[in-house]
A and B are shown apart, each in its own frame.
Chain A
């Protein structure tokens, strides 16, 4: 199918972007275009104006800033996967983004674009939920910082107004002796995930779990973080503990039937992948030196 007619504007700075957004009622920002363009081709998205922000250098940074990593909204997936800082501080993000589509998509698509698009099983969104990221949303009049759980409203909808733009993703760097794991089941390599799980497990001196963060995709309207600390804290993570954590996830979620898979299968997969991810993250943590 072909898209509806639209106008196209290219901007190279944030101020120019805000001017363009103010000038047009029905404007949509295009970055990598990997989600937006297919929706336009199917006429599901019909923006009157596309504002191309690929020229804004100020949105590409990857910087360590104290105990957090600041990632520009326009950083491409592959740049993040290749970045020495991301690889050193956020192995979970590297592992998750490796599951996004194919090399061609990873070369063009942006993490920021993915977060704003908010597919229910987007690997970026799931990893950021697990990592407890914050989003910086800017407009002509200033900026605001939104925790990821509040930012992801419902399928394809986030807390960002038509005149605003996502500029930065801020991710706290996990404490030492934190292991991570990302698990996903998709029908083929590169497909949208049916269910995916991101896990961070921190261990103390006696290999007891001192902190845990878990997020899932494909089981709700958006990626979600589920609190399983009461099943795991203070003890080593064995099969029984992992199963208990999976039970908590099962109680907290209600996956629906859709075109991708049935709700019952997603529920089953979530149980399997939660156990696998927690077990692997724990093994990763305990393998690290004290």
Chain B
């Protein structure tokens, strides 16, 4: 299909789900009610690390309206340990969804209660007596890796869940001969997605039907089904997972951790049990993310050419990054992608992933690509400054060029296509970089407000394929032709707010020559759809779209064969447009008529030629042509299918007296290959970018030295609001991917990958007169003042007076 024939791909079609969602007619997991339903609550450990000495649930069990109270020991009757979601050379702990002998983080569920109402269930929690023996806790990454650190899993001998590294090229020689060697330590704090809808799960074990049904707010119903079946050692064909409307996932809903607790309670009571997570529970024990420190050494020539990169990243996955959720994998991704969109001659990376007494770590928009982006892009700006080059010029000298694709990066991945220099050029124009710099020169020092501009480029490896992990590398979907000529698409993908319910209709409409209204996407029910992994690592536009486009093409081929058989002509003379099968220069038949003939009269028996094995539907399987788990001669593997890219800028005004940062302008240029729905793409860019700004300016999980979490409600875990950002300018470059069916690349994460580095670069730029450089995030007003207080220039101007 050429670009000229695409009528629907490329159109900003209004989204099909918006009418029901904005009028309050959406159906979320908490909206589902089943007869006899009970409600769950969990008693959570108040200590960061503790041995559980005794639990007395007798008073809770006696409370009127309470139907079950289960401890971790009680639960072993029903379930086994949480199965690993990822294991690539990782230490996998034996952990359960309810703590057994030990609790590993503040907020870990210890006792589960099912009662007539949530109110009663919480009343019951107060009647449970638990004796804990608090143990020494460790939360800081480098402290957890120190030799004398308290151990979470003593049998490991240390707190290292995994480590990995690679070296390519003559590293020592490169650094020895370099004109410049720059060194940086760049930490990033812990935060996460915090969706509007937190976790929710309604489980119904029907003993008479021998079936477990689980309604669940999740991004991946099929993966949850597999994990739940493994946890309870149930035949998986007797488990059904239904994911209705989802109020945000962002990577945080890709596992079956506390979701198995309502299943447990349903097994114990024989009744449906619903758990709707409170915000406090979500902040305490929902998947957390980021939390790492990089050490970078960069060798650069005197004319600003990058030569060698020697990097170490220490990551913190909280109590576990394998069974509670697949958080450990992101540090391996980060290690592979820290070279970014630039060319290098020598490279070494080492990653060490630590466990500590904090909530479990999972995936969050970026999954390592953000971790790779942050230190690299901050270092690029600081090195440019040291070399006397503009941030843009330094990048231009080192980008992979647009004629060099496919390009194999030194760490192994093959970048499919891109034009990084054009993204950057468009960005500078979009944000009027030179104009901002002029205004900065004019206004600097005239008031307490300091203007600054930061930029960064990014790579968004998409369509992930991770070995021995739930994040596997295939997609299956069915495109079904209906009796009246419409189409059903059955997909294991999930619409979590990103709009696949609409975009897939656009794709299928173009492939089959119909309209998006002729197509309905069926998703969110494991009994109704083939096995699919769900949306993560921007799989929608890579795996899912490619699979469904190719399935639709095969269906179209089959239908042409049927009509060719009816009309006794060559199938190549037939096409479909506007819902009508057309013979070149001759006969026509509506798809409705074809559907009737095929299904109703005369039926397939009468009209389908012998060589067409199934005219009704096509179930197709797609996998990445470029990912590879077989190490090459240098020991490198390739985990991602496509490589979207982009650049962005933030203009800030920093109040040097109060420390407040005002975001004055945001500009994003994104290259996600072929665009299916421009309105949806821009929406994703806006939302993702603001989410990234939240991490840069205000979101933080602060654990103190005793492992107590201080951000357990939305007055202390702060999201960015509409009042915190200006209108966002977006522009696009289109470099189609040669590896997907339509040339699409995926773009769910790119806009979240960049903002931390961009914000740091902007604030560094604004505060240049004071000679300070940002170190710790988030950039709250207090941190900005603490940073400025280290500057004698600032103390002279603003610090004295009281």
Contact = CB atoms under 8 A, between A and B. Distances in A.
* Touch test A–B (CB under 8 Å): yes
A259 B716 contact: yes
**Interface range on chain A: under 10, 10 to 19, 20 to 34, or 35 or more?**
20 to 34
Counting chain A CB atoms within 10 Å of each CB, the highest count among B710, B716, B785 belongs to B785
B122 A187 contact: no
A272 B801 CA distance: 9
Given A185-B660, A187-B698, A189-B723, A2 B122 contact: yes
A240 to B, nearest CB: 10
Contacts of A191: 715, 718
A190 interface: yes
A189 B658 contact: no
Contacts of B801: 243, 246-247, 271, 275
Given A1-B278, A243-B801, A272-B658, A187 B785 contact: no
B775 interface: no
Nearest to A276: B657
B428 to A, nearest CB: 30
A188 interface: yes
A188 B785 contact: no
Interface in B121-137: 122-123
Contacts of B721: 188-190
A77 interface: no
A44 to B, nearest CB: 11
Interface in A210-265: 243, 246-247, 250, 259, 261-262, 265
A118 to B, nearest CB: 17
Contacts of A192: 715
B156 interface: no
B280 interface: yes
A268 B784 CA distance: 12
Contact of A265 (B119, B785, B798): B785
A262 B710 contact: no
A279 to B, nearest CB: 12
A90 to B, nearest CB: 26
A116 B798 CA distance: 37
B781 A187 contact: yes
B274 to A, nearest CB: 14
Contacts of A268: 785, 802
A278 B692 CA distance: 38
A57 B3 CA distance: 68
A250 B280 CA distance: 37
Counting chain A CB atoms within 10 Å of each CB, the highest count among B713, B723, B780, B802 belongs to B802
A271 B802 CA distance: 7
**Interface range on chain B: under 10, 10 to 19, 20 to 34, or 35 or more?**
20 to 34
A28 to B, nearest CB: 18
A38 to B, nearest CB: 8
A275 B798 CA distance: 12
Contacts of A259: 710, 716
B87 to A, nearest CB: 36
Contacts of A166: none
Given A262-B782, A272-B658, A3 B723 contact: no
Contact of A247 (B657, B782, B802): B802
A4 B117 CA distance: 12
B278 A243 contact: no
A185 B802 contact: no
A273 to B, nearest CB: 8
Contacts of A269: 658
B768 interface: no
Contacts of B710: 259
A5 interface: yes
Contacts of A272: 657-658, 798
B418 to A, nearest CB: 36
A268 B785 CA distance: 9
Contacts of B715: 191-192
Nearest to B711: A259
Given A187-B698, A194-B781, A1 B724 contact: no
Interface string B654-665: 000111100000
A188 B718 contact: yes
Contacts of A1: 122, 278, 280
Contact of A250 (B780, B785, B802): B802
Interface in B98-154: 118-119, 122-123
Nearest to A262: B782
Contact of B781 (A185, A189, A246, A250): A185
A187 B118 contact: no
Contact of A187 (B119, B657, B780, B786): B780
Contacts of A243: 801-802
Nearest to A41: B278
A3 B126 CA distance: 12
B69 to A, nearest CB: 17
A234 B115 CA distance: 70
A273 B713 CA distance: 28
Interface in A163-215: 185, 187-192, 194
Given A4-B123, A247-B802, A259-B716, A189 B724 contact: yes
16 contacts: A1-B278, A4-B123, A185-B781, A188-B698, A188-B723, A190-B723, A191-B715, A194-B782, A246-B801, A250-B802, A261-B780, A265-B785, A268-B785, A268-B802, A269-B658, A271-B802
Interface of B: 118-119, 122-123, 278, 280, 657-660, 698, 710, 713, 715-716, 718, 720-721, 723-724, 780-782, 785-786, 798, 801-802
Given A188-B718, A265-B786, 16 more contacts: A2-B122, A5-B123, A43-B122, A187-B698, A187-B718, A188-B698, A188-B721, A188-B724, A189-B721, A190-B723, A194-B782, A250-B802, A259-B716, A261-B780, A262-B782, A265-B659
List 4 A-B pairs, minimum CB-CB distance, nearest first. Answer: A189-B723, A271-B802, A265-B782, A2-B119
